[in-house]
Structures are given as structure tokens and as C-alpha cells.
Amino acid sequence: MMRRILPAMVVAVAISAVSPFHGSAEENAEGGGGKALFQAKCSPCHTIGGGRLVGPDLKGVTTLRDRAWLERFISAPDKVLASGDPVAARLFQEFNKVPMPNLGLDQDQVDALLDYLAAGEETPPQGAKPAAAPAPKGDPSMGEKLFAGEFTFARGGTPCIACHHVAGIAPLGGGTLGPDLTTIATTFGDAALSSALATLPFPTMKPIFGDHPLTPKEQGDLRAFFRKATPRRPAVETTPIVLCAGAGLLALLLLTGALGRRRLGSVRKALVAEATKGGGEGRWVG
């Protein structure tokens, strides 16, 4: 059978190989210069001369650090940090252990960004815009409901609980695909938190929230909720879900056993008893 199916598989592979699909739309749209790249990829977390946000102010970074190091770090910050690089490790500690995500930039994009940074043009932080006009105060209880998905985001974004935990969320806590956000208000600080909520620039979140950003009111409510939650002790508990699932498994096994004992019921049971009477060799099978 395998031998006969194989030609069909080869044809299918060949058809797929010449398929007209190429890269995502986002990849194709990113051919802009360094400034456009900075705005799209870096500005949610960095400024040039506008002070620190989630990450450092990048003013003068090209004179502070070796270009080769910057190239390596911007291309793959996760790998540089994992390699034990002392500068990357120090930055990681200094910026509240928030690692810079791997943005998947190619060499041309990294070069364009470094040229732009070297040119010394200053940019105001994105978070400064809402700060200039006073940000909505926000309702922490509404923020909690938005976080937990009890109220949906107006523009259709995914509730935070899908991937994030905040201590005190009942009954089994929040998700663990993303980081625990219990102390995010103190870890990030106001400016960075506002900027992060406005742009949600993180690699896993960007595709989800790119077309479904949070409204200013939702950002305010969530900010208020995070501020309220920040004194709590972050503690993601895996035990309760494991215990629940274990109990469920036990119940399913008991149910299977109980129903299985009766599976040779009624008519068949009598037939089986008769057929096997006297130690006959043929035992009826199920």
C-alpha cells in the first residue's frame, strides 16, 4: 500500500513546493527605513532621548556599545542573554528581568535600525502621548473583569486570563503561556505600563492585538487593576488544576469499570453463560 501511495505524496509535495504563498503580509510591509522600523518595533519599549520605558533610552547607544555587539543583540537578544553575555545579563537585571523579545529582524533591518540610531534623531516616547493628556483614571474592578474575560474587550482582543496570571484570580488562577502580571505595575512603572498597554508590542501578543487594540478606557481600567494587585505575592499554583484533573481521571476510570462490568448484559449474558457451561473452550468475546 505504501509503495502505491508514495507517488501521490510526491506529487502533493511538488504541488505545495510551487505554491504561490510567500511570507506574511507583515513581513512584506516591513521594508521601510530605520525610522519606520524603530516606530513599529522598538518605540513601545524604548525612546531616543525621551527617558526609559520598559527598556533603556537608546540615545547614544551606538557610541556606548560596539556595533558588532549591538548587531548580535538586536538580531537575537534571547540567544545573547542565554549565552551568559555579561552586558545582556546586567541589562536584564537592571530592567526588572523583562527580557527583550526576539523580533525576528533580518540583517538589513538590523543595519537600518543601527544607522537610524547612530544618526541621533530624538523621538518622544509613545507612552508620553497619553501622559500629556491625563490618562483615564480607571476602575480596578472593571479592569479585573476585563482581565478575567467576564467583560469582553470592545475591539475583540483576547482576555488577559488566557495567557497571564494575577494573584487572587479565582478559582484556578490565570494562564501561564505569558508571564505572571501580579507585580507588573511596579516592575514596569507607570510610563512603561501605559506604553505597553497602548501598543502590546510583545511577539505573541502583537498578532492578536495588532488589529484589536485596547481602548483608552480599557487600558485605564487594566492599569488600575494592576496597580491594585501589585502588593500581592505572585504565586502561580499548578497543584489545584492537577488535583482536579486527577480526581476527574479517577472518576472516569471508575465509571469505565462500573459500566464495563455490565457490558455482557441481558440477552448476551445468558447466551454466554450457556455457551461456556461445562468449561467449553469457546468463550464469547465482546
Judged by CB under 8 A, the chain residues 197 through 226 that form the site for another protein are 203-204, 206-208
19 binds another protein, rule: CB under 8 A: yes
Those residues with Cβ within 8 angstroms of residue 96's Cβ, 6 or more apart along the chain or in another chain:
187, 188
Least Å distance, CB 229 to another protein, is 15
Query: Using the rule CB under 8 A, which residue among 29, 154, 235, 244 binds another protein?
Result: 244
Please report the beta strands in the chain, taking only residues with DSSP state E, as ranges in sequence order.
none
Instruction: State how far the alpha carbon of 73 is from the alpha carbons of 25, 36, 110, 209, 258, in Å.
Output: 25, 20, 10, 26, 60
The region of 33-41, 85-93, 189-197, 249-257 touching another protein under the rule CB under 8 A is 249-257
Question: Which residue from 258, 281, 284 is spatially nearest to 273, judged by alpha carbons?
Answer: 284
Identity of the residue, 128 or 272, whose beta carbon is nearer to another protein in the bound complex? 272
Least Å distance between CB 224 and another protein? 19
Interface pick for another protein out of 64, 89, 242, 254 (rule CB under 8 A): 242
**Closest listed residue to residue 227, CA positions, set 188, 272, 199, 196:** 188
Residue 48 main-chain phi, psi, to 5 deg: -115, 95
Query: Quick one: which of 97, 233, 262, 277 contacts another protein (CB under 8 A)?
Result: 277
Q: Near another protein by CB under 8 A, which window of 43-51, 56-64, 123-131, 157-165?
A: 157-165
Q: How far is the CB of 61 from another protein (least distance, A)?
A: 25
Written as nine digits, the cell of 151 is 467583560
Contact 76, 102 (CB under 8 A): yes
Residue 36 and residue 115 in contact, taking contact as beta carbons nearer than 8 Å: no
162 alpha carbon, distance to own chain's centre: 9
Q: Considering only 47-55, 80-88, 113-121, 250-258, which stretch makes contact with another protein by CB under 8 A?
A: 250-258
Q: Contacting another protein (CB under 8 A), which of 119, 245, 254, 273? A: 245
Rounded least distance, CB 191 to another protein, Å = 25
Q: Residue 249 interacts with another protein (CB under 8 A)?
A: yes
Asked if 2 is part of the footprint of another protein (rule: CB under 8 A), the reply reads: yes
CA 263 to chain centre: 47
The single residue among 71, 136, 148, 190 that binds another protein, judged by CB under 8 A, is: 148
Site string for another protein, 72-111 (x = CB under 8 A): -----------------------------x--x-------
Q: Is 258 in the site for another protein (CB under 8 A)?
A: no
Side chain identity at residue 285, one-letter code: V
Closest to another protein by CB, 110 or 169 = 169
Q: Is 254 in the site for another protein (CB under 8 A)?
A: no
* Residue with the three cell numbers 541589562: 91
Which C-beta is closer to another protein: that of 120 or that of 260?
Answer: 260
Contacts of 38 (CB under 8 A, 6+ apart): 48, 113, 116, 117, 123
* Residue 174 near another protein by CB under 8 A: yes
Q: Where are the beta strands (DSSP E) in 94-180?
A: none
Under a CB-based contact definition with an 8 Å cutoff, are residues 20 and 27 in contact? no
